[in-house]
């Protein structure tokens, strides 16, 4: 497995193997990377993208969390292709984020985990992330493959890992 930052020529393959449909999330994340705000990491297995995540270098996306943790990179938008799950790809992406944050001299990495996803919370806690008691709510529309929009509300608990 190789993990590296996204390059523009990767976007077509990302949409083929990790489709975001009408949401065009990979392209949006890449634009933020070009602006220097984010890094879009891709996990490659046999030259096929199997997972991605984003590092927000400007701190947590939600204002209240960012105010409480101003020197914290945020790991967000972690996804692993269904066919590649339970093979250590998600854990490798988390480790890659931590390594990059340490290289930039940041003392911690945080992430929001949906309260409706206790399995993910257990994984992150096993990897050393602790609940801060901070929460955030995000409302968004997710477009499915048929073009239908689904309005969603996600309530996240914010977890943090001290680095070093």
Counting Cα atoms < 13 Å in the Cβ hemisphere of 121 gives 15
The whole-model pTM stands at 0.92
In tens digits, the chain (164 residues) has pLDDT values of 999 999 999 999 999 999 887 778 999 999 999 999 999 999 999 999 999 999 999 999 999 999 999 899 999 999 999 999 999 999 999 999 999 999 999 999 999 999 999 989 999 999 999 999 999 988 877 777 777 888 889 899 999 999 98
- Alpha-carbon span 75 to 105, nearest angstrom: 16
Q: Are strands 72-80 and 48-56 parallel, antiparallel or unpaired?
A: antiparallel
The torsion angles phi and psi of 42, rounded to 5 degrees, stand at: -125, 135
Contact partners, residue 34, CB within 8 Å, separation at least 6: none
- Alpha-carbon span 58 to 72, nearest angstrom: 8
């Amino acid at each position: 497995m190789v993990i590296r930052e996204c390059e523009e020529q990767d976007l077509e393959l990302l949409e083929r193997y990790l489709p975001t449909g009408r949401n065009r999330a990979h392209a949006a994340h890449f634009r933020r990377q070009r602006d220097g705000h984010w890094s879009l990491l891709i996990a490659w297995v046999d030259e096929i993208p199997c997972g991605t995540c984003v590092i927000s270098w400007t701190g947590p996306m939600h204002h209240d969390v960012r105010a409480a943790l101003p020197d914290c990179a945020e790991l967000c938008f972690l996804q692993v292709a269904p066919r590649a799950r339970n093979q250590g790809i998600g854990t490798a992406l988390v480790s890659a984020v931590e390594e990059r944050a340490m290289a930039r001299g940041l003392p911690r990495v945080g992430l929001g985990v949906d309260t409706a996803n206790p399995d993910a919370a257990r994984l992150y806690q096993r990897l050393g992330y602790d609940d801060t008691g901070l929460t955030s709510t995000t409302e968004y529309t997710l477009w499915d493959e048929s073009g239908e929009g689904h309005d969603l509300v996600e309530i996240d608990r914010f977890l943090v890992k001290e680095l070093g």
